[in-house]
Amino acid sequence: MKDKLIFVTGGGSGLGLELVRLAWGRGYRVMCTGRRGVQDLPDDFPDIPYLCCDLSSQQGAQQAADWALGQSHGRIDCALLNAAAGYFRPLVAETATSLSDVLALNLEANMILAHRLAPALDGGTLALIGSVARKGAAGMPVYASSKGALDGFGRALAEEWRGRACVRVLHPGPIATGMAARAGRKPDFADRLFLSPRAMAHCVLDAALARKGADRQVISYGRVLFHPARLLRRGAT
C-alpha cells in the first residue's frame, strides 16, 4: 500500500485535511495543494509534499497539475479534487466576479486538473468531491450550480475514461468544517446534524479507493453513521 500515491486539493484544512491525515495514517504516499501558506498548516500536519496555490485562476490550476505531475513522476493512483468554496446568498447579491470565481474554483480548476493529470491517472481513480447541493439548494444558487455542473462533468468523464481510469463523483452531506458559516449561512438547529469531518473522510476515502462502486455516490448520514471506523471508535470519528 505504501507505494500508492494519493493527491488531494484543499488539503490544508477542512475535509481535505482529514483526507490527508487519514490517507497518510493508512500508509499511503500523499501529496496535496492548499491555498494557505505552509506556516498556517496545523502543527501535526504530515511531512508530505505541499504546494500553496490559488486554484481559482487557470494559471493556479495548471501550476498545481504540473507540480503534481512532477512530484508523482507520472503516476497518481488517486486524485481527490476537494477544494471548493461558495456563498450562502441570493443571486442578486453576487457580482460578475464572484460568480466566475466560484465556477473557476469548483468546476474549471477540476476540469483543468483532470485534463492535465489524465496520463498519470491511467489505471487510477479521479474522485471529484461534489455536494448534495448539486440538485439545487435554496440560498446558494451559484455554489449549487457549480456542483451540478461538476456532477455532469464527472458523469461524462466516467464514460469517456471507462476501462482506462475510474472516475467517481462523491456527494457529501453537510460536514462540520465551518464551511457553511464562512459561506455566510447563519447557524441554526440544523448545525447539530452536521457530520464529523473525520467520519466523512473515512467514507469518502473508502468510496474513492474501492475497487467497485457507482460512478456517482451520495455520502450522507446512513453511510457515515454506520461506517465501521465510527462504530468501533466513536470518540475518534
Ligand X SMILES: NC(=O)c1ccc[n+]([C@@H]2O[C@H](COP(=O)([O-])OP(=O)(O)OC[C@H]3O[C@@H](n4cnc5c(N)ncnc54)[C@H](OP(=O)(O)O)[C@@H]3O)[C@@H](O)[C@H]2O)c1
Binding residues for ligand X, rule: CB under 6 A, are: 10, 12-16, 34-36, 54-56, 82-85, 105, 129, 131, 172, 174-175, 177-180, 182
- Least CB distance to ligand X at residue 143 (A): 7
Contact 64, 58 (CB under 8 A): no
* β partners of residue 216: 169
Q: How many CA atoms lie within 13 Å of 156's alpha carbon, on the beta-carbon side? A: 8
Q: Quote the CA–CA distance of 124 and 108 in Å, as a whole number.
A: 21
Query: By C-beta, is 148 or 174 nearer to ligand X?
Result: 174
Q: Three cell numbers at 176?
A: 462540520
Residues 65-85 as b/e (b if ≥16 CB within 10 A, e otherwise) read bebbbeebeeebbbbbbbbbb
Query: By C-beta, is 147 or 230 nearer to ligand X?
Result: 147
Query: By C-beta, is 119 or 190 nearer to ligand X?
Result: 190
- Least CB distance to ligand X at residue 79 (A): 13
Q: Quote the CA–CA distance of 145 and 164 in Å, as a whole number.
A: 29
If you search the block for the grid coordinates 447539530, which residue do you land on?
192
Query: By C-beta, is 8 or 121 nearer to ligand X?
Result: 8
Residue closest to ligand X (Cβ): 14
- Least CB distance to ligand X at residue 2 (A): 25
- Least CB distance to ligand X at residue 200 (A): 8
Identify the helix (H) or strand (E) that includes residue 30: strand 29-34
Amino acid at the residue 81: L
Contact 54, 75 (CB under 8 A): no
- Least CB distance to ligand X at residue 51 (A): 10
Query: By C-beta, is 5 or 84 nearer to ligand X?
Result: 84
- Least CB distance to ligand X at residue 97 (A): 13
Query: By C-beta, is 154 or 174 nearer to ligand X?
Result: 174
